[in-house]
Chains A and B, each alone.
Chain A
Amino acid sequence: DTAVSQTPKYLVTQMGNDKSIKCEQNLGHDTMYWYKQDSKKFLKIMFSYNNKELIINETVPNRFSPKSPDKAHLNLHINSLELGDSAVYFCASSQGRKTGELFFGEGSRLTVL
């Protein structure tokens, strides 16, 4: 049973389209995150939710909208995709809101053409 699962694993789309990535964790954790990893492997936090409440929003363009329907799910919707959005997006979870060990999903590779 995968602890943190993301879908889809690969996403290829045209500029201007809207797309969503879904994430689910079965670890019973309270906090979930979205990170973006660029082509140089730099990993940057985007959002964090604790028990469905947004606690970190790292000045991400408002084309990116996270949604947490419950504490086990954190989805990422991206409007009007741009070339620069091409990256690998990682979902992660942790036990509490103070940062301990993060558990990562396998990533969703988004390619915008």
Chain B
Amino acid sequence: SQQGEEDPQALSIQEGENATMNCSYKTSINNLQWYRQNSGRGLVHLILIRSNEREKHSGRLRVTLDTSKKSSSLLITASRAADTASYFCATDASGSEKLVFGKGTKLTVNP
């Protein structure tokens, strides 16, 4: 299975701290994406990193990709209570037309 696995399953931090979530996957990919899901809402796209990229930034988000280890990390700096959500990585295998999601990391940022 291509499915990504996020680690940890749950993370609780204080406002202002950094949050790091990891994702591992099993097959060669074209790109890897991260999504956020607030409770009771749909998923929102955060960032896409291509297989030939190693690092990407977007505001307080930093994503790294290590294709040799088949892993990615999402770093949220200076976290805020509003960052409380579940975060999912998603991959599309080379030659595939579908995006496969991991099981998510539930992040709680305490004020």
Contacts and interface: CB of A to CB of B under 8 A. Distances in A.
B45 A101 contact: yes
A55 B98 CA distance: 10
B41 A41 contact: no
Contacts of A55: 97
Interface in B74-97: 86, 88, 90, 92, 96-97
How large, as a class, is the contact surface on chain A?
A: 20 to 34
A97 interface: yes
B42 A99 contact: no
A103 interface: yes
A51 B87 CA distance: 30
Given A41-B103, A41-B104, A100-B48, A90 B98 contact: no
Contacts of A107: 40-42
Interface stretch (A12-20, A42-50, A66-74, A78-86): A42-50
Given A104-B43, A106-B42, A107-B42, A45 B103 contact: no
B69 to A, nearest CB: 22
Contacts of B106: 41
B33 interface: yes
A42 B88 CA distance: 10
B25 interface: no
A103 B30 CA distance: 19
Contacts of A48: 97-98
A56 B45 contact: no
A106 B44 CA distance: 10
Nearest to A4: B42
Interface in B9-32: 30-31
Contact of A99 (B35, B97, B103): B97
Given A43-B43, A98-B97, 6 more contacts: A41-B86, A44-B101, A45-B99, A99-B96, A104-B44, A106-B42
